[in-house]
Structure 1
Amino acid sequence: MAAAPPTYPRWALYLAQGQKIPYKRHWVRCTHPLALADKIRRPPQYSQEPECLTEMSLMMACWKQNEFSDIACAEEIQTFLRCSSESEARRKEKMKREAMGQTGHFNLQEVNQILKEFPNIKKFS
């Protein structure tokens, strides 16, 4: 018994023959008027993974093994403190850039101020 010839999708046949793939239009029905809102709300804040979690867990494991002796775990403590100070410095620098407007994005208050200056027309006369 002979094997059946392979079947190809229709778009592959168009390409093989050097033809354009016919474009199928999809229509969208708008249920609301296309207009911006007069105010936006703060998006939900998703919790990020703590930056120094591994260093902290290593420090606590060392404490547990050495009966909470700071002398025996000095290296782990220094690693955790260094990580937390670097993380705090990055956070402060980010807040400073955002306050100065150097991020290239508008913050929530600026967007709401612009939307307040140019409100949507509600009624047509």
Structure 2
Amino acid sequence: MAAQGGILFQEKVSRLLSRHNGKPVLKPNRTLALRDEVANRKLKKGEATCITEMSVMMACWKQNNFVDGLCSNEMNSFYSCVEKAQAAMKSKSEQAVLKGGRLHPKQANTLLRRYPNLRTEI
């Protein structure tokens, strides 16, 4: 069934590229071949964590003229929240690697250089 869908897709692409009424229906401005590299963009960091703990800590600092000793409970709760968030992010990234999640652009580029694409059109 999947092979039939691929054949139908190829027929549709060839029909769109063929001349109809004297001009092609679809005129690509570049060659229809995949590139051997991806854009080197940074991955998104995600959402912010421990905002409430940080705001409570800063409010305590403001009330106590920025003396760390008087706000030790708030600081400890903030640092423990940060440690938990970092551990969660690390375990999430390890699970993504094991499950086959998104590759980092550098890893994708090394794989694409190792296994280059065909340079001809479809």
TM-score interval, normalised by the smaller of the two chains: 0.5 to 0.7
- Give the aligned partner of residue 61 of structure 1: 59
| Structure 1 residues not aligned, in runs of 5+ | 1-26
- Give the aligned partner of residue 20 of structure 1: none
- Give the aligned partner of residue 92 of structure 1: 90
Per-residue CA deviations over 1:50-71 (Å, capped at 9, x if unaligned) read 3223321220111110233445
User: What CA distance in whole angstroms lies between the structure 2 residues aligned with 1:62 and 1:110?
Assistant: 45
Deviation at 1:80, TM superposition (A): 0.7
Deviation at 1:106, TM superposition (A): 4.7
Q: For 2:91, what is the secondary structure of its paired residue?
A: helix
TM-score, normalising length from structure 1?
0.56
Q: For 2:82, what is the secondary structure of its paired residue?
A: helix
Q: For 1:73, what is the secondary structure of its paired residue?
A: helix
TM-score, normalising length from structure 2?
0.57
Correspondence list, 1:73-84, <5 A: 73-84=71-82
Q: For 2:98, what is the secondary structure of its paired residue?
A: coil
- Give the aligned partner of residue 19 of structure 2: none
**Given the alignment of the two structures, is residue 105 of structure 1 paired with residue 79 of structure 2, yes or no?**
no
Higher relative contact order structure (alpha carbons within 8 Å, sequence separation ≥ 6): 2
Q: Let me know the Cα RMSD of the aligned residues.
A: 3.0
**Given the alignment of the two structures, is residue 115 of structure 1 paired with residue 115 of structure 2, yes or no?**
no
**Which structure: greater helix fraction?**
2
**Judging changes above 3 Å, is the alpha-carbon distance between structure 1 residues 59 and 85 closer, same or farther for their aligned structure 2 residues?**
same
User: What CA distance in whole angstroms lies between the structure 2 residues aligned with 1:47 and 1:111?
Assistant: 19
- Give the aligned partner of residue 9 of structure 1: none
Deviation at 1:83, TM superposition (A): 0.9
Q: What amino acid sits opposite 1:119 in the alignment?
A: N
- The count of corresponding residues between Structure 1 and Structure 2 is 95
| Structure 2 residues not aligned, in runs of 5+ | 1-24
User: What CA distance in whole angstroms lies between the structure 2 residues aligned with 1:46 and 1:57?
Assistant: 24
**Judging changes above 3 Å, is the alpha-carbon distance between structure 1 residues 72 and 109 closer, same or farther for their aligned structure 2 residues?**
closer
- Quick check: 1:55–1:76 contact (8 Å CA) kept in 2? yes
